[in-house]
Amino acid sequence: MSGDLEKFIQQLLRNSEELKLVLEAEAVPRPTDSDSSSSSSSSPSSSESETDSDSKVPGAITRLKQRRKDAKINRKRVLAVVAHIDPYGEEQGCVFIFKSHMKASTAGNTIVQHTVEHAFPILSGFTIAMAQAKRNTIDLTSASMETLKQPQSAEFKLTLHPGHDLSQRSIALTTQDSPHLKPFLTEVKRLKDISVVNSEPGATPSYPWILPYTSKSKPSLLSAEPQDLRHVHRQISELLSEASAGSLGDDAFDTSIIREFWIRSQVEQLYNSGSQTSLKLRIGTFNVNGKLPSQDLSAWVRGPSTGANKYIPPLKELSPFSLEGIATDSSGEGTALPFGKQPDISADSNASSVTDLPVAAAFAGKYDDPDLIVLGFQELDLSASALIYSAETTREDAWLTAALAGLGEKAVEYEKLASKQLVGMLMVVLVKRTMKDCFKRIQTNSVGAGIMGLMGNKGAVALRLAFEPRPTRDARHPRGAVLTFVNAHLAAFDEMYEKRNADFHDISRRLVFDAGAPAPGAPSPQAGGAPPNAPLHAFQSDALFWLGDLNYRIELSDSDARALLADDAVDNLPLLLQYDQLNLARRTDKAFANFIEHRILHFPSYRFNSGALSDNLGYDLKRKPAWTDRVLYIPSVAVRVQQQTYQCHKEITMSDHRPVSATFELRVPTVDGEKLDAFAHGLWKEVSHIEDAEDIPRVSVEPAAIDLGKIEYHREAQQSVLVRNTGRVPFAFRFVPLAPGEPICPRWLRVKPVAGLVRPGEHKEIILTTTVDNPVAAKLNVGDPHLEATLVLHVARGNDSFVVVSGDYARTCFATSMQRLVRMPGPMRMTGVRRLLPDEQAATAPKEVMRLISWLMSYGSDVDNLFLAPGDLAQVDEIREALDTGTELPVPDSNSRAALALSVASCLLQLLDALPEPLVPPHLHQACAETTDRESAFELLNGLPGASVNVWISLTSLLHFLCQQDARMPGALRVRRLAARFAPVIFRDESALSKPISPVGKRKFIMHFVS
């Protein structure tokens, strides 16, 4: 019997775990509980409440007996000590408690199944208390005669304590399995001793391998509260276990991840298929510097609807720096925000992004009054006494009155919904009266992060609410959305960048809301999940808005920042924003990872001073201007967020900050909550058992070989592969690399999705996209042009399938080093990859660059906006092709000349920007930027490689010549704009902004040659 049991249990474990010992036991029935102490209500025997009404009915006694028999089985537990060797070779142990279930088998008889009910990691605090139970009566019906004969068959009571700060409760069990009890406890002790030796003080060791066993019964997606937004936005590839061809990862763990992503993407489709409820939201943030309201706040509170005339579109939308495809790729980031990761909500999300709509365009139409106005204030009160937490509300009242006054005649339509203050931080939420009943479960909280990490001079106040749209015919109880707003004030001063990041994480960790009573109709938390009353994080929302004086500064010298702001020749905001510390933090995942911020089109909101202590723009001379006041957000599939405005209100001058506002339209899917739950649970049922299914998954991957044909620079080509489920069970698949630690495909290829789940009879299309950007081209240009890669698609519990992808790369002069270009005996594509001229026969400058410059000298010198306006993309491609094949560049006629010239100029800029090393080598950048006169600038040229000097001279001669021409644009202005255009190309920064080199200095260096 015991041997069989061990076999059963072993089969429930993964390969990576070893079953050490098992022990049979019984759960101790609690008086208030039914026999099935787990909450699995699906178990047919657990509904004790029927007993009374049933007992009078004939046949009830038989049923009662049956129920007792079932209850007996329902009490049965199996304890198992399981060991796992972690990647560092350390052994970890866990005590699993398995529950027995009776199941009707297909053959008609009942069989016993075991599922994990509890899992106790054997940590240093884990204990099992044992006591011999006194038995007053001998239960002849349950104990077999054999048991009675054995003298050692005493009953023991075991109490398992999880120890430490684990949220699990203790479990009491009884066992008569005394022969196995001692070895069981010995083994537990051995594993506990290991745990004690390995444990580090203060740190709770993680036991991630246990997760797949316990979390399986409840994906967080199915809980009543929203998922953690940080989790939702993680890429599936970051989460999957490490695996490669021929070495298995953790199939069961991967399956649980893939399944969760799949359910989420299915739910997303449901969201997208139905109607949506729109919610208009206005957010404002204002550091009031201790002042009391003394000005009209209407522009900030109400926005542009107060007289359409007042609205002036923000700065010009298109700047020379946002020209498509130019000068942005190599650094991996565009000048446009949001950069980096778009919210890729699921593994195979193809939802269009609604996040980066140009402000002015969206705004051309009418502006609706907001349904909700969220105003965040900082430094409400600077007096010393305010540092002590006080409940005084006079300042709040003053600002509330001012805000309502700012709404003008609309004020009567609004009322205060909630507010929260912590010392100087205040959040006030106004709601349209007609919408008030749609906002429920309003909660507020605050976190101090100032002096001693607790004082309230810095920190955050926050508000969480549930938006429940009005019922519709299809959705009688719309699920709605949970929205959270955080108004934070982070550490001040330029050099406190790290502290601000730490403040963000500190607030994120400590800002919680009481879970309170679950919402009516919410599914009860299943066994193994978080306890029902665990506090909710700010990130457990459908959308999170984070506003406030975040205090991030510009990582440039004071003089550079001011010079760039004052320069009216060029829109320098995108450049300045590259050096913004908050953007830096987001780019490097130091803080605000996955948050979205709309492109900033306004000037810095800090710090202003009136009078003699300010510069021409009004900025305080003692503080570097900065975008300290910001509004960011994270959406999810349950709330689509479209930002319509993002502005700074310079006309409100009472503080040293200017208030900042943002307007959003939120679209909340009008999905019935119960329908959604039923849908998600239905999906869950369908795929929850795929790890243990008897059938082996069957997959067909077609085609097994793909010829991509010609693979070209900067031209994406797509092909697809179908992953079909030809078997009888759903399966999870993922691509694994051929060799450990490598990517799943070479860099010239993209595979999407990288993992998925396919139900029987269905298929999933995998899109393969070739992408050759500059770093990839730099490698491919010097290698074998025939490209081939083997993709390995691994099906959990099944096969590895191969897809061989091949193609022929068309080499190009783009992303080829200058040293190589001068040694090419002919055009790129006409010359073998290994044929290079000896050094002494090398050209003085790359032919490709010189051909473009001489064309521009001949045909382009009088074209306005040459290099400043973008060329035609198709024409640029044609010109590049001509350079690579050696055919003639197009000769223009009088009609096409200007347009063609812009394209040739774009092509030249791109060619220079694609160079693996910038025209001026990085080690000279600092010296160049510090050059103050023309003579030393010329001297620095001696440090350049020969070919670079020749290109430099030809190029600057061309630019100089352009600025001499009669044109609509004054020469001096043109010089400045061209210098601004070429500086980031010629002095391309590869490294992060650890030690930024003055962009103004770079421009000046170029101007020494051009003007």
Which residues in this chain contact another protein in the complex, by CB under 8 A? Answer: 2-4, 6-12, 15, 18-22, 42, 81, 83, 85, 89, 91, 103-106, 111-113, 183, 186-187, 190, 194, 244-248, 685, 689, 692-694, 701, 704-705, 738-739, 790, 792-793, 798-802, 804
Segment (H or E) for 415: strand 414-422
Rounded to 10 deg, the angle between the 946-964 and 999-1010 helix axes is 70
For the CB of residue 570, give the shortest distance to another protein in the complex, in Å.
53
Q: Between residues 9 and 641, which has the closer beta carbon with respect to another protein? A: 9
SS (H, E, C) 658-681: CCEEEEEEEEEECCEHHHHHHHHH
C-alpha dist (Å) from residue 816 to 204, 907, 939: 51, 14, 27
Radius of gyration for the alpha carbons in the chain, expressed in angstroms and rounded: 34
Which residues fall within 8 angstroms of residue 484, CB to CB, at 6 or more apart? 462, 463, 464, 465, 538, 539, 541, 543, 544, 545
The pair of structure tokens assigned to 258 is 């893939």
Q: Between residues 89 and 520, which has the closer beta carbon with respect to another protein? A: 89
Question: What does the alpha-carbon distance between residue 734 and residue 794 come to, in Å, rounded to a whole number?
Answer: 5
Order across the sheet with 755-758: list the strands: 755-758, 731-736, 786-795
Look at the alpha carbons of 186, 190, 193, 195 in this order and tell me if their dihedral is positive or negative: negative
Q: Between residues 100 and 774, which has the closer beta carbon with respect to another protein? A: 100
Q: Between residues 797 and 880, which has the closer beta carbon with respect to another protein? A: 797
Which residues fall within 8 angstroms of residue 192, CB to CB, at 6 or more apart? 93, 122, 123, 124, 126
With contact defined as beta carbons under 8 Å apart, do 263 and 687 qualify? yes
Backbone angles phi, psi at 79, to 5 degrees: -95, 140
Residue type, 254: D
Q: Between residues 64 and 111, which has the closer beta carbon with respect to another protein? A: 111
Q: Between residues 450 and 528, which has the closer beta carbon with respect to another protein? A: 528
C-alpha dist (Å) from residue 672 to 165, 542, 684, 902, 966: 38, 16, 18, 55, 67
Q: Tell how far CA 218 is from the center of its chain.
A: 23
For the CB of residue 760, give the shortest distance to another protein in the complex, in Å.
12
Q: Between residues 99 and 432, which has the closer beta carbon with respect to another protein? A: 99
For the CB of residue 147, give the shortest distance to another protein in the complex, in Å.
21
Pairing of strands 481-489, 425-432: unpaired
DSSP state of 636: B
Residues paired with 701 in a beta bridge? 723
For the CB of residue 100, give the shortest distance to another protein in the complex, in Å.
12
For the CB of residue 703, give the shortest distance to another protein in the complex, in Å.
10
Q: Between residues 363 and 733, which has the closer beta carbon with respect to another protein? A: 733
Which residues fall within 8 angstroms of residue 968, CB to CB, at 6 or more apart? 864
For the CB of residue 8, give the shortest distance to another protein in the complex, in Å.
5
Q: Tell how far CA 298 is from the center of its chain.
A: 35
Q: Between residues 77 and 587, which has the closer beta carbon with respect to another protein? A: 77
Q: Between residues 191 and 842, which has the closer beta carbon with respect to another protein? A: 191
For the CB of residue 131, give the shortest distance to another protein in the complex, in Å.
24
Question: What does the alpha-carbon distance between residue 521 and residue 467 come to, in Å, rounded to a whole number?
Answer: 16
For the chain, report the end-to-end CA distance as a whole number of angstroms.
Answer: 94
Q: Between residues 105 and 136, which has the closer beta carbon with respect to another protein? A: 105
Residues paired with 279 in a beta bridge? 666
Question: What does the alpha-carbon distance between residue 59 and residue 43 come to, in Å, rounded to a whole number?
Answer: 21
For the CB of residue 709, give the shortest distance to another protein in the complex, in Å.
19
DSSP state of 823: T
Segment (H or E) for 289: none
Backbone angles phi, psi at 834, to 5 degrees: -95, -5
Q: Between residues 42 and 394, which has the closer beta carbon with respect to another protein? A: 42
SS (H, E, C) 9-38: HHHHCCCCEEEEEEEEEEECCCCCCCCCCC
Q: Between residues 12 and 824, which has the closer beta carbon with respect to another protein? A: 12
For the CB of residue 767, give the shortest distance to another protein in the complex, in Å.
20
Q: Between residues 10 and 215, which has the closer beta carbon with respect to another protein? A: 10
Segment (H or E) for 129: strand 127-132
For the CB of residue 704, give the shortest distance to another protein in the complex, in Å.
5
Exposed, middle or buried: residue 379 (CB in 10 Å: 0-12, 13-18, 19+)? buried
Angle at 51 between CA 45 and CA 52, to 5 degrees: 170
Exposed, middle or buried: residue 362 (CB in 10 Å: 0-12, 13-18, 19+)? middle
Work out the widest C-alpha separation in the chain, in whole angstroms: 115
For the CB of residue 105, give the shortest distance to another protein in the complex, in Å.
5
Q: Between residues 689 and 835, which has the closer beta carbon with respect to another protein? A: 689
The pair of structure tokens assigned to 798 is 């099944």
Q: Between residues 614 and 790, which has the closer beta carbon with respect to another protein? A: 790
For the CB of residue 176, give the shortest distance to another protein in the complex, in Å.
18
For the CB of residue 808, give the shortest distance to another protein in the complex, in Å.
18
Q: Between residues 112 and 451, which has the closer beta carbon with respect to another protein? A: 112
The pair of structure tokens assigned to 117 is 């009910």
Backbone angles phi, psi at 959, to 5 degrees: -65, -40
For the CB of residue 40, give the shortest distance to another protein in the complex, in Å.
9
Angle at 884 between CA 880 and CA 888, to 5 degrees: 75
For the CB of residue 740, give the shortest distance to another protein in the complex, in Å.
9
For the CB of residue 44, give the shortest distance to another protein in the complex, in Å.
11
Q: Between residues 492 and 738, which has the closer beta carbon with respect to another protein? A: 738
Question: What does the alpha-carbon distance between residue 503 and residue 313 come to, in Å, rounded to a whole number?
Answer: 34
For the CB of residue 794, give the shortest distance to another protein in the complex, in Å.
8
For the CB of residue 806, give the shortest distance to another protein in the complex, in Å.
11
Pairing of strands 512-513, 536-537: antiparallel
